[in-house]
Amino acid sequence: ADLLAALNYGVCYFHTYTLLLQYFKQCFGAVKPGGVLVCDGFGGTRSPFTPIQFRRRCSSFEYIFEQSPIDLLTNRTTCSIDFKFRDDATGKLGKRQRFFEYDFRAWSVAEMGDALREAGFEHVSVWIGESKWREEDGDIQSKDDAFIKLSDKKAFQPTAEFWNVYVAARRPMA
C-alpha cells in the first residue's frame, strides 16, 4: 500500500508497548518503500484525570459520550457512547446504553513516535487539533481548531481540555 490509515483511535486497542510495536512492524511490512502510515491519538488537560460526559442533541436523538479517568498505572480508560431516542409510536424517550464501548490505552505522542521509529519508519510528523468546549442549553458544543504541525525544534504545550493528534510516518525509500 502507498498509505495505511489506522484511525478512530485503533492503536489504542493495543494495551502494551510490545503489541503496539508488533502492530507497527506489521504496518511497516505492508507499505511500499516511501509509503505512509497515519494513526491518531487523544488527550487533554481534563481528559486523563477526571471522568468526562458530554451530550449532544440531534434532531431525533441525544448522543452521550462518557470516559472514565485514565488509570495512571496502565494508561487505560473505558469510553462509551449511548443514545437516547424518542419512540415515534409512543413519544417516550428510550435509551440504548453502552451502544459502543471501548477499552483504550492512551498512548503519548512520544511513545507512538518511539514505536514507529523502532518498527523502521522515519520522518514521524505530528499534527494537533485542540478542541474548545462550552455548554449551551445543557449540550456540550465543540469547536475544533485547525490542526497544526508540531515541530521537534519548538516545544508545544497543549492547553485545551481535549485534543486529537494525527501521527504520520514514512517507510524509507530503500
* pLDDT tens digit sequence for 104-152: 999 999 999 999 999 999 999 998 886 655 555 555 555 556 677 776 6
Is 153's pLDDT higher than 70? no
Q: Rounded mean pLDDT of 27-34? A: 98
* Predicted pLDDT of residue 128: 84
pTM surpassing 0.85?
no
Using the predicted structure, report yes or no on whether residue 55 has a pLDDT greater than 60.
Answer: yes
In DSSP terms, 64 is beta-bridged to 55, 82
pLDDT confidence tier of residue 63, bands split at 50, 70 and 90: confident
Q: Give pLDDT, residue 159.
A: 64
109-118 and 17-30 are packed helices; what angle lies between their axes, rounded to 10 degrees?
Answer: 50
pLDDT of residue 103: 96
